[in-house]
Amino acid sequence: MPEPQLDRLLRFTRTIAAEEAGREAALAARGRPMGPLRALMAIGAAGMDVGALRDHLTLDSGLMSRQLRQLEEDGLITVTPDPEDARRRRAACTPAGLAEIAACQQLTRDRAAELHDLLDGDETLLAAMDRVATLLAAHRMRLRLIDPDSAEAAACLRAYYTELSGRFGLPFTPGTDPDPGALRPPRGAFLMAEHGEDRLGCVSLRGDGLGRAEIKCLWVSPDHRGVGLGRRLMAAAETEARRLGLTRLRLDTSRHLPEALTLYRRAGWQEIPRYNDNPFAHHWFEKQL
């Protein structure tokens, strides 16, 4: 371990930590406690179920409830029962809440703009910062089983289909799965890789309930490619498949996705003949567990 390099890294993290402390202080200066503020930001323009919010922020149900009451009293959000299941409640921002979010985002953007002026648009520096952020996020990423119907899964799938549309030159849109249980335990699973607030990628196992499943929707965020995330997602999917007691995995893919082809071949998948009628597939693979 070369000590001088370590000292340089320590200085770097120390400096950036001070920067982050400054940002937190600037946000706190708006006079709102950080807890409710984080909740407000998470609710965002789209709104969010209370349970999902609680999971996302990993808060105790009591604390969550009190923070939502506070935001409601301040007129920033409304919390209404879910019409389909009145036990569940849904938080949504009022115009005042949206304005508060926008103000906080502007504050963050202003600080980033200061940094931008400072770096004077130096592309070498920006590229290095991208690289550091990519490596760090991939290294510290955590994998999580999520609900395939959740907002997070939907966001991943939107990004995935946008990517496909670009690759194929055709407008793909995410359709609703005709068999929603296939992507949930015990038949299948939906895995997402994340780092803090950032979604790095996802992969799903679509099980038939007879010990077999298809790998679907392997997606890696464009910001986080080239650092082995696809491989790690596939490995995690395999591990999850074994845990679910699955014995055979299949997948199809297209010649327009060359990096995926390489990935499957390197990970020990066997190319097999066409097993479905997917008009966009050119290659079919199988793996026995």
Residues near DNA, by CB under 7 A: 33-36, 49-51, 54, 59-69, 79, 85-89
- Nearest distance, CB of residue 67 and DNA, angstroms: 7
Residues that bind a second copy (CB under 8 A): 1-2, 5-6, 8-23, 108-109, 111-116, 118-119, 121, 124-133, 135-137, 139-140, 195-198, 223
Q: Which is nearer to DNA, 67 or 134 (CB)?
A: 67
Distance CA 186, CA 192 (A): 17
79: helix, strand or coil: strand
Q: Which is nearer to DNA, 49 or 238 (CB)?
A: 49
> Euclidean distance between the first and final Cα of the chain, in Å?
40
Instruction: Give Cβ neighbours of residue 46 (< 8 Å, ≥ 6 apart).
Output: 151
Rg of the chain on CA atoms, in Å? 22
Q: Which does 60 bind (CB under 5 to 8 A by kind): a second copy, DNA, none?
A: DNA
Q: Which does 62 bind (CB under 5 to 8 A by kind): a second copy, DNA, none?
A: DNA
**Among the listed residues 104, 27, 107, 35, the one whose alpha carbon sits nearest the alpha carbon of residue 64:** 35
**Kind and range of the H or E element at 288?**
strand 283-288
- Nearest distance, CB of residue 213 and a second copy, angstroms: 32
Q: Which is nearer to a second copy, 44 or 211 (CB)?
A: 44
> Do 52 and 90 contact (CB within 8 A), yes or no?
no
Name the region of 177 (left: φ>0; alpha: ψ -120 to 50; beta: rest): beta
- Nearest distance, CB of residue 190 and a second copy, angstroms: 23
Q: Which is nearer to DNA, 38 or 256 (CB)?
A: 38
- Nearest distance, CB of residue 61 and DNA, angstroms: 4
